[in-house]
Structure 1
Amino acid sequence: MEPATADRFDDVTTMLAPKKPAAVGCWCLSYRLEPRENQSLGPRERRDRMRALCGEAVSPGVLAYDAGGDVVGWAGVAPRSQLYTFEHSTKIPHVDDVQAWSLWCLKVRAGHRGQGVARALIAGAVDYAIAQGAPVVESYPVDNRGAKVDTTMAFVGTRAMFEAAGFRVVADTSSTLAGHPRVVMRSA
Protein backbone atom coordinates (compact mmCIF):
# COMPACT_ATOMS: atom_id res chain seq x y z
CA MET A 1 0.00 0.00 0.00
CA GLU A 2 1.35 3.40 -0.97
CA PRO A 3 0.05 6.97 -0.69
CA ALA A 4 -1.15 8.49 -3.96
CA THR A 5 1.69 10.97 -4.47
CA ALA A 6 2.75 13.01 -7.49
CA ASP A 7 5.33 10.41 -8.51
CA ARG A 8 2.54 7.79 -8.60
CA PHE A 9 0.12 9.91 -10.62
CA ASP A 10 0.19 7.51 -13.59
CA ASP A 11 -1.13 4.83 -11.23
CA VAL A 12 -3.80 7.22 -9.92
CA THR A 13 -4.80 7.81 -13.55
CA THR A 14 -5.02 4.06 -14.16
CA MET A 15 -7.44 3.77 -11.25
CA LEU A 16 -9.53 6.93 -11.64
CA ALA A 17 -9.52 8.15 -15.25
CA PRO A 18 -12.67 7.47 -17.27
CA LYS A 19 -12.33 4.93 -20.10
CA LYS A 20 -13.09 7.66 -22.65
CA PRO A 21 -10.56 10.51 -22.22
CA ALA A 22 -13.11 13.21 -23.11
CA ALA A 23 -15.63 11.93 -20.54
CA VAL A 24 -16.14 13.76 -17.28
CA GLY A 25 -15.24 11.14 -14.68
CA CYS A 26 -15.38 11.58 -10.92
CA TRP A 27 -11.61 11.44 -10.26
CA CYS A 28 -12.66 10.97 -6.61
CA LEU A 29 -13.47 14.68 -6.44
CA SER A 30 -17.28 14.64 -6.29
CA TYR A 31 -17.47 14.39 -2.50
CA ARG A 32 -14.45 16.66 -2.03
CA LEU A 33 -15.59 19.76 -3.94
CA GLU A 34 -18.38 22.25 -3.44
CA PRO A 35 -21.18 21.23 -5.90
CA ARG A 36 -20.89 24.27 -8.17
CA GLU A 37 -17.15 23.80 -8.57
CA ASN A 38 -17.55 20.05 -9.00
CA GLN A 39 -20.02 20.55 -11.87
CA SER A 40 -17.95 23.26 -13.55
CA LEU A 41 -14.79 21.17 -14.00
CA GLY A 42 -14.23 19.53 -17.37
CA PRO A 43 -12.16 16.37 -17.97
CA ARG A 44 -8.78 18.15 -18.10
CA GLU A 45 -9.50 20.31 -15.05
CA ARG A 46 -10.58 17.28 -13.00
CA ARG A 47 -7.37 15.45 -13.89
CA ASP A 48 -5.31 18.54 -13.07
CA ARG A 49 -7.11 19.01 -9.75
CA MET A 50 -6.31 15.43 -8.72
CA ARG A 51 -2.72 15.84 -9.87
CA ALA A 52 -2.41 18.90 -7.62
CA LEU A 53 -3.88 16.99 -4.67
CA CYS A 54 -1.31 14.23 -5.20
CA GLY A 55 1.40 16.88 -4.90
CA GLU A 56 0.25 18.05 -1.46
CA ALA A 57 1.84 16.94 1.83
CA VAL A 58 -1.19 14.78 2.68
CA SER A 59 -2.12 12.39 -0.09
CA PRO A 60 -5.75 12.23 -1.33
CA GLY A 61 -5.77 8.44 -1.04
CA VAL A 62 -3.82 5.22 -1.13
CA LEU A 63 -2.98 2.75 -3.90
CA ALA A 64 -2.75 -1.04 -3.71
CA TYR A 65 -0.30 -3.03 -5.84
CA ASP A 66 -0.14 -6.70 -6.74
CA ALA A 67 2.98 -8.85 -6.30
CA GLY A 68 4.18 -7.80 -9.77
CA GLY A 69 4.00 -4.11 -8.94
CA ASP A 70 0.87 -3.32 -10.98
CA VAL A 71 -1.64 -0.95 -9.40
CA VAL A 72 -4.85 -2.82 -8.56
CA GLY A 73 -6.75 -0.58 -6.15
CA TRP A 74 -7.53 2.90 -4.87
CA ALA A 75 -9.03 4.20 -1.63
CA GLY A 76 -9.97 7.85 -1.12
CA VAL A 77 -9.18 8.96 2.43
CA ALA A 78 -8.91 12.49 3.86
CA PRO A 79 -9.97 14.60 6.82
CA ARG A 80 -13.77 14.91 6.74
CA SER A 81 -13.29 18.68 7.01
CA GLN A 82 -11.75 18.63 3.49
CA LEU A 83 -14.74 16.82 1.96
CA TYR A 84 -17.45 19.36 1.22
CA THR A 85 -20.27 16.86 0.83
CA PHE A 86 -19.68 15.09 4.13
CA GLU A 87 -18.72 18.21 6.07
CA HIS A 88 -21.97 19.95 5.04
CA SER A 89 -24.26 16.94 4.79
CA THR A 90 -27.71 17.05 6.33
CA LYS A 91 -28.11 13.31 5.70
CA ILE A 92 -24.83 11.92 7.07
CA PRO A 93 -24.47 13.25 10.61
CA HIS A 94 -21.40 14.37 12.48
CA VAL A 95 -21.19 11.89 15.34
CA ASP A 96 -19.22 14.14 17.70
CA ASP A 97 -16.53 16.82 17.70
CA VAL A 98 -13.68 14.40 16.93
CA GLN A 99 -11.84 15.49 13.78
CA ALA A 100 -12.51 12.22 11.95
CA TRP A 101 -11.01 11.26 8.63
CA SER A 102 -13.32 9.83 5.97
CA LEU A 103 -12.76 6.74 3.85
CA TRP A 104 -15.37 7.18 1.16
CA CYS A 105 -14.21 5.43 -2.00
CA LEU A 106 -12.85 1.97 -2.77
CA LYS A 107 -12.02 0.93 -6.29
CA VAL A 108 -10.53 -2.41 -7.36
CA ARG A 109 -9.51 -3.09 -10.94
CA ALA A 110 -11.43 -5.72 -12.87
CA GLY A 111 -9.62 -9.04 -12.74
CA HIS A 112 -8.47 -8.38 -9.18
CA ARG A 113 -11.81 -8.39 -7.39
CA GLY A 114 -12.58 -11.09 -4.86
CA GLN A 115 -8.89 -11.40 -3.94
CA GLY A 116 -8.82 -9.32 -0.76
CA VAL A 117 -7.76 -6.05 -2.40
CA ALA A 118 -10.65 -4.05 -0.88
CA ARG A 119 -9.84 -5.43 2.57
CA ALA A 120 -6.20 -4.41 2.09
CA LEU A 121 -7.28 -0.95 0.88
CA ILE A 122 -9.36 -0.38 4.01
CA ALA A 123 -6.48 -1.41 6.26
CA GLY A 124 -4.00 0.67 4.26
CA ALA A 125 -6.23 3.75 4.27
CA VAL A 126 -6.71 3.49 8.05
CA ASP A 127 -2.96 3.02 8.60
CA TYR A 128 -2.19 6.02 6.38
CA ALA A 129 -4.76 8.25 8.11
CA ILE A 130 -3.53 7.28 11.59
CA ALA A 131 0.08 7.92 10.51
CA GLN A 132 -1.05 11.41 9.43
CA GLY A 133 -2.58 12.08 12.85
CA ALA A 134 -6.19 11.01 12.35
CA PRO A 135 -7.83 10.28 15.71
CA VAL A 136 -10.39 8.01 14.00
CA VAL A 137 -11.41 6.97 10.49
CA GLU A 138 -15.04 6.79 9.49
CA SER A 139 -16.83 5.48 6.43
CA TYR A 140 -20.36 5.67 5.04
CA PRO A 141 -21.05 2.28 3.44
CA VAL A 142 -24.40 0.83 2.43
CA ASP A 143 -26.16 -1.53 4.81
CA ASN A 144 -27.28 -3.87 2.05
CA ARG A 145 -27.99 -6.83 4.37
CA GLY A 146 -26.41 -9.22 1.88
CA ALA A 147 -28.34 -7.96 -1.15
CA LYS A 148 -26.42 -7.34 -4.38
CA VAL A 149 -25.13 -3.80 -4.81
CA ASP A 150 -24.97 -2.31 -8.31
CA THR A 151 -21.29 -2.27 -9.29
CA THR A 152 -21.43 1.42 -10.25
CA MET A 153 -22.42 2.23 -6.65
CA ALA A 154 -20.24 -0.35 -4.88
CA PHE A 155 -17.43 2.20 -4.39
CA VAL A 156 -18.76 3.10 -0.92
CA GLY A 157 -18.37 -0.48 0.33
CA THR A 158 -20.77 -2.45 2.48
CA ARG A 159 -21.42 -2.60 6.19
CA ALA A 160 -20.26 -6.24 6.28
CA MET A 161 -17.01 -5.33 4.52
CA PHE A 162 -16.20 -2.64 7.07
CA GLU A 163 -17.29 -4.78 10.03
CA ALA A 164 -14.84 -7.45 8.85
CA ALA A 165 -12.16 -4.73 8.90
CA GLY A 166 -12.93 -3.87 12.54
CA PHE A 167 -15.24 -0.88 11.99
CA ARG A 168 -18.39 -0.49 14.06
CA VAL A 169 -21.66 1.33 13.33
CA VAL A 170 -21.82 4.61 15.27
CA ALA A 171 -24.82 6.29 13.62
CA ASP A 172 -27.62 5.79 11.15
CA THR A 173 -28.07 8.23 8.29
CA SER A 174 -30.95 9.39 6.13
CA SER A 175 -28.74 8.84 3.07
CA THR A 176 -29.34 6.01 0.63
CA LEU A 177 -27.36 4.76 -2.34
CA ALA A 178 -28.68 2.37 -4.98
CA GLY A 179 -31.74 1.82 -2.77
CA HIS A 180 -29.74 0.82 0.31
CA PRO A 181 -29.47 2.84 3.54
CA ARG A 182 -26.03 4.10 4.51
CA VAL A 183 -24.55 4.02 7.99
CA VAL A 184 -21.68 5.86 9.67
CA MET A 185 -18.99 3.42 10.76
CA ARG A 186 -15.73 4.06 12.60
CA SER A 187 -12.49 2.18 12.94
CA ALA A 188 -12.01 0.54 16.31
Structure 2
Amino acid sequence: MANVIPTTHPSLRIVPADEAPFADVEAVFGTRGDPAHCWCQWYKLPGSEWRERAGGDGALRGRLEAQLAADGPGPGLLAYEGDTPVGWCAVEPRPALPRLRTSPIVRDHTPDADLDDASVWAVSCFVVPRRHRRRGVGAALAEASVAYARDHGARVIEAYAIDPSAKVAKTPAAELFHGTVSMFAGAGFVEAARPSASRAIMRVEL
Protein backbone atom coordinates (compact mmCIF):
# COMPACT_ATOMS: atom_id res chain seq x y z
CA MET A 1 0.00 0.00 0.00
CA ALA A 2 1.30 3.45 -0.92
CA ASN A 3 2.39 5.85 1.80
CA VAL A 4 -0.19 8.61 2.27
CA ILE A 5 1.15 12.15 2.65
CA PRO A 6 -1.04 14.04 5.14
CA THR A 7 -2.76 17.25 4.08
CA THR A 8 -5.56 19.39 5.46
CA HIS A 9 -7.88 18.46 2.58
CA PRO A 10 -10.58 16.20 4.02
CA SER A 11 -11.49 14.15 0.93
CA LEU A 12 -8.23 13.75 -0.99
CA ARG A 13 -5.46 11.22 -0.55
CA ILE A 14 -1.96 12.15 -1.78
CA VAL A 15 0.67 9.48 -2.44
CA PRO A 16 4.12 9.37 -4.07
CA ALA A 17 3.45 8.63 -7.73
CA ASP A 18 6.21 6.01 -7.82
CA GLU A 19 4.15 3.98 -5.34
CA ALA A 20 0.98 4.14 -7.46
CA PRO A 21 0.06 2.05 -10.52
CA PHE A 22 1.31 3.73 -13.67
CA ALA A 23 -2.18 3.25 -15.12
CA ASP A 24 -3.38 5.81 -12.55
CA VAL A 25 -0.76 8.30 -13.75
CA GLU A 26 -1.91 7.67 -17.32
CA ALA A 27 -5.51 8.29 -16.29
CA VAL A 28 -4.59 11.76 -15.01
CA PHE A 29 -2.50 12.71 -18.05
CA GLY A 30 -5.17 11.47 -20.44
CA THR A 31 -4.89 11.09 -24.19
CA ARG A 32 -5.52 14.64 -25.40
CA GLY A 33 -4.30 18.10 -24.51
CA ASP A 34 -0.90 19.34 -23.36
CA PRO A 35 -0.27 16.76 -20.61
CA ALA A 36 -0.62 13.86 -23.06
CA HIS A 37 1.94 15.50 -25.36
CA CYS A 38 4.43 16.39 -22.61
CA TRP A 39 4.33 13.79 -19.81
CA CYS A 40 6.21 16.27 -17.59
CA GLN A 41 9.35 16.12 -19.74
CA TRP A 42 9.50 19.77 -20.81
CA TYR A 43 11.94 20.77 -18.05
CA LYS A 44 13.95 17.56 -18.44
CA LEU A 45 14.92 17.79 -22.11
CA PRO A 46 17.17 20.39 -23.77
CA GLY A 47 15.38 22.57 -26.30
CA SER A 48 16.89 20.85 -29.33
CA GLU A 49 15.96 17.40 -28.04
CA TRP A 50 12.45 18.56 -27.19
CA ARG A 51 11.92 19.95 -30.69
CA GLU A 52 13.01 16.66 -32.23
CA ARG A 53 10.91 14.63 -29.78
CA ALA A 54 12.18 11.37 -31.20
CA GLY A 55 9.53 8.71 -30.77
CA GLY A 56 6.77 11.26 -30.16
CA ASP A 57 4.31 11.13 -27.30
CA GLY A 58 4.91 7.43 -26.68
CA ALA A 59 8.60 8.02 -26.01
CA LEU A 60 7.83 10.85 -23.57
CA ARG A 61 5.34 8.63 -21.78
CA GLY A 62 8.02 5.94 -21.57
CA ARG A 63 10.49 8.41 -20.09
CA LEU A 64 8.08 9.30 -17.27
CA GLU A 65 7.33 5.63 -16.61
CA ALA A 66 11.08 4.93 -16.38
CA GLN A 67 11.62 7.91 -14.06
CA LEU A 68 8.91 6.64 -11.75
CA ALA A 69 10.52 3.20 -11.71
CA ALA A 70 14.03 4.54 -10.98
CA ASP A 71 15.60 4.65 -7.53
CA GLY A 72 15.44 7.84 -5.51
CA PRO A 73 12.70 10.33 -4.63
CA GLY A 74 10.44 11.92 -7.18
CA PRO A 75 9.39 12.76 -9.73
CA GLY A 76 5.88 13.49 -8.53
CA LEU A 77 2.79 13.02 -6.40
CA LEU A 78 -0.62 11.66 -7.28
CA ALA A 79 -3.94 12.76 -5.76
CA TYR A 80 -6.92 10.47 -5.31
CA GLU A 81 -10.54 11.09 -4.47
CA GLY A 82 -11.65 7.72 -3.21
CA ASP A 83 -10.06 5.27 -5.64
CA THR A 84 -10.09 7.73 -8.55
CA PRO A 85 -6.82 9.45 -9.52
CA VAL A 86 -7.60 13.16 -9.87
CA GLY A 87 -4.31 15.06 -10.07
CA TRP A 88 -0.54 15.08 -10.51
CA CYS A 89 2.17 17.36 -9.16
CA ALA A 90 5.79 17.24 -10.35
CA VAL A 91 8.18 17.70 -7.41
CA GLU A 92 11.80 16.60 -7.14
CA PRO A 93 15.35 17.92 -6.63
CA ARG A 94 15.91 20.94 -8.85
CA PRO A 95 18.99 19.52 -10.66
CA ALA A 96 16.69 16.87 -12.20
CA LEU A 97 15.14 19.68 -14.28
CA PRO A 98 18.00 20.86 -16.52
CA ARG A 99 15.92 23.31 -18.54
CA LEU A 100 15.53 25.44 -15.41
CA ARG A 101 19.20 26.33 -15.96
CA THR A 102 18.25 28.36 -19.02
CA SER A 103 15.02 29.81 -17.66
CA PRO A 104 15.58 33.51 -16.87
CA ILE A 105 12.85 33.28 -14.25
CA VAL A 106 14.91 30.78 -12.27
CA ARG A 107 18.48 31.49 -13.36
CA ASP A 108 18.28 35.24 -12.76
CA HIS A 109 16.00 35.38 -9.72
CA THR A 110 16.23 32.32 -7.47
CA PRO A 111 17.89 33.05 -4.12
CA ASP A 112 19.77 29.74 -4.48
CA ALA A 113 21.90 30.40 -7.54
CA ASP A 114 23.71 27.04 -7.37
CA LEU A 115 21.46 25.09 -9.72
CA ASP A 116 23.40 21.89 -8.93
CA ASP A 117 22.34 22.00 -5.27
CA ALA A 118 20.19 18.89 -4.82
CA SER A 119 18.92 20.14 -1.46
CA VAL A 120 16.78 22.65 -3.36
CA TRP A 121 13.61 21.04 -4.69
CA ALA A 122 11.24 22.39 -7.32
CA VAL A 123 7.52 22.10 -7.96
CA SER A 124 7.30 22.49 -11.71
CA CYS A 125 3.91 21.27 -12.94
CA PHE A 126 0.34 20.36 -12.03
CA VAL A 127 -2.08 18.25 -14.04
CA VAL A 128 -5.71 18.16 -12.96
CA PRO A 129 -8.24 16.83 -15.50
CA ARG A 130 -11.00 19.31 -16.27
CA ARG A 131 -13.72 17.26 -14.57
CA HIS A 132 -11.78 17.31 -11.27
CA ARG A 133 -10.95 21.02 -11.11
CA ARG A 134 -12.23 23.53 -8.53
CA ARG A 135 -12.11 20.90 -5.78
CA GLY A 136 -8.83 21.94 -4.16
CA VAL A 137 -6.76 19.23 -5.85
CA GLY A 138 -3.88 21.55 -6.76
CA ALA A 139 -3.86 23.12 -3.29
CA ALA A 140 -3.67 19.70 -1.63
CA LEU A 141 -0.82 18.64 -3.92
CA ALA A 142 1.09 21.86 -3.20
CA GLU A 143 0.69 21.28 0.52
CA ALA A 144 1.82 17.65 0.20
CA SER A 145 4.85 18.65 -1.87
CA VAL A 146 6.29 20.46 1.15
CA ALA A 147 5.96 17.44 3.42
CA TYR A 148 7.33 15.13 0.72
CA ALA A 149 10.39 17.30 0.09
CA ARG A 150 11.05 17.69 3.82
CA ASP A 151 10.81 13.93 4.38
CA HIS A 152 13.44 13.40 1.69
CA GLY A 153 15.98 15.82 3.08
CA ALA A 154 15.27 18.98 1.10
CA ARG A 155 16.56 22.24 2.53
CA VAL A 156 14.29 24.40 0.39
CA ILE A 157 11.37 23.86 -1.94
CA GLU A 158 10.47 26.47 -4.53
CA ALA A 159 7.85 26.96 -7.23
CA TYR A 160 7.45 29.29 -10.21
CA ALA A 161 3.89 30.48 -9.83
CA ILE A 162 1.47 32.40 -12.03
CA ASP A 163 -0.31 35.43 -10.59
CA PRO A 164 -3.59 35.70 -12.53
CA SER A 165 -4.53 38.86 -10.62
CA ALA A 166 -1.62 40.69 -12.28
CA LYS A 167 -2.95 40.08 -15.78
CA VAL A 168 -5.49 42.29 -17.51
CA ALA A 169 -7.03 39.39 -19.43
CA LYS A 170 -8.20 36.15 -17.89
CA THR A 171 -5.39 33.60 -17.65
CA PRO A 172 -6.13 30.56 -19.86
CA ALA A 173 -6.30 27.28 -17.95
CA ALA A 174 -3.45 25.93 -20.09
CA GLU A 175 -1.08 28.51 -18.52
CA LEU A 176 -1.89 27.51 -14.95
CA PHE A 177 0.13 24.30 -14.95
CA HIS A 178 2.80 26.09 -12.88
CA GLY A 179 0.32 26.67 -10.06
CA THR A 180 -0.86 30.05 -8.78
CA VAL A 181 0.59 32.43 -6.22
CA SER A 182 -2.49 32.19 -4.00
CA MET A 183 -2.47 28.39 -4.09
CA PHE A 184 1.15 28.21 -2.99
CA ALA A 185 0.66 30.89 -0.35
CA GLY A 186 -2.13 28.77 1.11
CA ALA A 187 0.30 25.87 1.31
CA GLY A 188 2.84 27.91 3.30
CA PHE A 189 5.05 29.19 0.48
CA VAL A 190 6.37 32.76 0.68
CA GLU A 191 7.13 35.00 -2.28
CA ALA A 192 10.91 35.30 -2.67
CA ALA A 193 11.18 37.07 -6.03
CA ARG A 194 8.94 38.63 -8.68
CA PRO A 195 10.64 38.10 -12.08
CA SER A 196 7.67 39.73 -13.82
CA ALA A 197 4.31 41.19 -12.88
CA SER A 198 2.57 37.85 -13.35
CA ARG A 199 5.29 35.39 -12.26
CA ALA A 200 6.65 34.81 -8.76
CA ILE A 201 9.16 32.49 -7.19
CA MET A 202 7.49 31.00 -4.13
CA ARG A 203 9.57 29.19 -1.49
CA VAL A 204 9.50 27.32 1.78
CA GLU A 205 12.66 27.11 3.87
CA LEU A 206 12.66 23.64 5.41
Matched, 1:80 2:94: yes
Matched, 1:125 2:145: yes
Gaps spanning 5+ residues in structure 2: where? 1-13
Asked if the contact 2:142/2:183 (under 8 Å) is kept, the reply is: no
2:9 aligns to what?
none
1: CA distance, partners of 2:81 / 2:131? 11
- C-alpha displacement of 1:89: 2.2
- C-alpha displacement of 1:6: 6.7
2:79 aligns to what?
64
Look up the equivalent residue of 2:15 and give its one-letter code: E
> Residue by residue, what CA displacement relative to the aligned partner does 1:128-155 show, whole Å, maximum 9, x if unpaired?
1221111111000112227532011111
Look up the equivalent residue of 2:199 and give its one-letter code: R
Among 47, 52, 61, the alignment partner of 1:40 is 52
2: CA distance, partners of 1:169 / 1:11? 33
2:155 aligns to what?
135
The TM-score with structure 1 as length reference comes to 0.86
2:105 aligns to what?
91
More off after superposition, 6-15 vs 149-158: 6-15
1:177 aligns to what?
none
- C-alpha displacement of 1:18: 3.2
2:65 aligns to what?
51
2:135 aligns to what?
115
Look up the equivalent residue of 1:59 and give its one-letter code: G
2:7 aligns to what?
none
1: CA distance, partners of 2:22 / 2:38? 16
Identity rate of aligned residues, in percent?
34
Q: CA RMSD in A?
A: 2.2
Secondary structure of 1:19's aligned partner: coil
- C-alpha displacement of 1:187: 1.9
More off after superposition, 6-15 vs 120-129: 6-15
Asked if the contact 2:38/2:57 (under 8 Å) is kept, the reply is: no
2:3 aligns to what?
none
Look up the equivalent residue of 1:140 and give its one-letter code: Y
More helix by share: 2
> Residue by residue, what CA displacement relative to the aligned partner does 1:157-182 show, whole Å, maximum 9, x if unpaired?
111111111111111225xxxxx621
Look up the equivalent residue of 1:114 and give its one-letter code: R
- C-alpha displacement of 1:32: 1.8
Look up the equivalent residue of 1:43 and give its one-letter code: D
2:204 aligns to what?
187
- C-alpha displacement of 1:40: 2.3
Query: Residue 170 and residue 9 in structure 1: after superposition, are their counterparts in 2 closer, same or farther (change >3 A)?
Result: same
Asked if the contact 1:61/1:75 (under 8 Å) is kept, the reply is: yes
The TM-score with structure 2 as length reference comes to 0.79
Query: Residue 128 and residue 79 in structure 1: after superposition, are their counterparts in 2 closer, same or farther (change >3 A)?
Result: same
